[in-house]
A and B are shown apart, each in its own frame.
Chain A
């Protein structure tokens, strides 16, 4: 078995190795209930990373997702009383619109997505502050339960949150591999000029990619908001860098056209394991961040398939 053949499998091998390492150091890590709970908790982050994958898959990046999720936590909390479960639609629409505007600014106005999405994130943050009246809000418990209680139950021991994540993953995977849109994404990510010369509406594909990223960020924000039964303009802080890291560690590099949503699923799990390892291995509080960074470098060094990074590594 040559190394070439192993390469595409490196992300999940890395995940497995990490799980084994942590588990051997502290066998209680293998407790199924505990693992299930760990996986369930990473769901909002995973959903956000799932959306981010689309932006990174076409060679861009979406830095607005965290602020967008913040905005959605506020919208969901404020308008729950008015719209009930319909607030989900409002949230998704908000995500779609902000994402689409980012995409528009990027493709039509030629502002690099790093800056356009960052700026749109600021706009979303302002909106979140405005709608929340700069306060931390909470949802009425009965309303929350009647509208969104279904999100957090268990069926046959499987948390519904996890089911939602898997459904979204399958949806995203289907979108990526089985639809004309997914194919267009791949073409745009791997070779934009050829995609243009094949008559694809490249701008629309890119704008849609950012819009989808926005929609997923909104869903992540909604789930998080319901989970915490509240919202404010900072509630989703801390998601952004982890979501990016999850996508990258999974093996979707920023060059575009490589990797995909399954990689992100693995990447998110890797992030989760590294983070849980801090608790399970009792890493000293002042060392945690440094250890996280070093393990991250090692994980990225292992997971990226350099043969697919066509051309130079920048």
Chain B
């Protein structure tokens, strides 16, 4: 038997449908960064001001890029965390609780251990990450061990988290004023504050986990076919638990950056992360049914959402219209980045 069965895959031409869809979120992002300056240009044109498209744009400037990135970093961390879960075909809605608890515990520990990074208080950072991991792990346990679908398990765990944060603070907010810690926001390298670089490093780490480690690849395996993965000898329970734990760590990272940005830790620190992060993940092109997408998609998704938010104010859109415009743009972005041929139906 000498015959070779297989053929090699057909060579793809440069601009295939697959490729366009793959890059659609990025194209949307680029489009948006051009559309907002266009509105600015139009506005100045009407008022008869000198305005060279893009060059004179206030939106399309490095300073504003920094602002958008600052606003993006905490959400990015949270969205990356939930990306891992969504890759597995599950969902995690516990982020608001986890972020609040991590922020509050971090602030308490930080203040009571010295109140400055130049003391033992730096231990509060690893502590917060561990707390995030533990909360994620518990979340995973409730989901896996009690066999409760992750949507319900994590939703309820989110309530528990927020409630726990409230119990800890009693409703107070804790200010973290340490100059060294706050240099995350105040010190800039090449126009961008340190927290942007921290977020970048964490994103690279997440990408590394996703593409270079067994765990990361196992997320894809579970998302692509959980029963098959199980039959192949994969310990799916373990992968799930690890996934939720890892997500918890990233939520904690989001909490740290949120505190770094505002300088305040409180029960409300986690507010609004849930819908924004999941929207960002989907807008970035990661499929809610699992197995498709990844960290870079999420980065693009978070940027899209934040560019829209920033841009709407910058072009002077009335506040009451902003929610609706965001909603419509989100739908458009998702529509563009969905491979309609690869999904048979969507719920």
- Residues of A at under 8 Å CB distance from B? 58-60, 63, 105-107, 109-116, 118-127, 129-130, 134, 192-193, 202, 206, 241, 244-245, 248, 253-256, 286-294, 296-297, 300-301, 304, 306, 309, 311-314
Contacts and interface: CB of A to CB of B under 8 A. Distances in A.
B323 interface: yes
B343 interface: yes
B347 A111 contact: no
Interface in B330-347: 330-331, 334-335, 338, 340, 343-347
Given A121-B327, A248-B155, 7 more contacts: A106-B347, A107-B346, A113-B347, A115-B330, A129-B323, A294-B156, A312-B227
A115 B163 CA distance: 26
12 contacts: A114-B282, A118-B327, A119-B331, A130-B320, A193-B344, A256-B347, A289-B160, A293-B158, A294-B156, A304-B148, A306-B147, A314-B290
B135 interface: no
B148 A300 contact: yes
B279 to A, nearest CB: 6
B327 A122 contact: yes
B178 interface: no
Contacts of A116: 331, 334
Nearest to A115: B282
B161 to A, nearest CB: 8
A289 B101 CA distance: 13
A110 B166 contact: no
Contact of A297 (B148, B150, B170, B331): B148
Contacts of B161: 293
A125 to B, nearest CB: 5
Contacts of B167: 286-287, 290
A81 B71 CA distance: 44
- The 10 A-B pairs of least Cβ separation, nearest first, read A290-B163, A126-B324, A293-B159, A122-B327, A289-B163, A293-B160, A129-B320, A119-B327, A59-B347, A122-B323
B146 interface: yes
Interface residues of B, number: 59
Contacts of B322: 126
B90 interface: yes
B149 A255 contact: yes
Given A126-B322, A202-B345, A311-B227, A241 B89 contact: no
Contact of B331 (A111, A193, A202, A244): A111
Interface in B240-283: 275, 278-279, 282-283
A253 B152 contact: yes
A114 to B, nearest CB: 6
B217 to A, nearest CB: 19
B159 A289 contact: yes
Interface of B: 88-91, 97, 142-143, 146-153, 155-164, 166-167, 170-171, 226-227, 275, 278-279, 282-283, 288, 290, 319-328, 330-331, 334-335, 338, 340, 343-347
Contacts of A193: 344
Given A293-B158, A297-B142, A313 B320 contact: no
Contacts of A114: 278, 282, 288
B347 A110 contact: no
B166 A290 contact: yes
A256 B282 CA distance: 21
B288 A126 contact: no
Contacts of A192: 344-345
A115 B143 CA distance: 23
Contacts of A127: 324
B327 A123 contact: yes
B341 to A, nearest CB: 10
Given A122-B326, A126-B321, A253-B149, A110 B331 contact: no
A55 B167 CA distance: 35
A294 B138 CA distance: 12
A135 to B, nearest CB: 11
A301 B278 contact: no
A142 to B, nearest CB: 30
A123 B323 contact: yes
Max count, chain A CB within 10 A of own CB: residue among B150, B156, B278: B156
B147 A291 contact: no
Nearest to A288: B163
B170 A286 contact: yes
Contact of A314 (B150, B163, B321, B343): B150
Max count, chain A CB within 10 A of own CB: residue among B89, B167, B278: B167
A134 B320 contact: yes
B198 to A, nearest CB: 29
B334 to A, nearest CB: 5
A297 B157 contact: yes
A133 B97 CA distance: 33
Contacts of A309: 147, 149
B159 A292 contact: yes
B146 A297 contact: yes
A60 to B, nearest CB: 4
Contacts of A245: 155-156
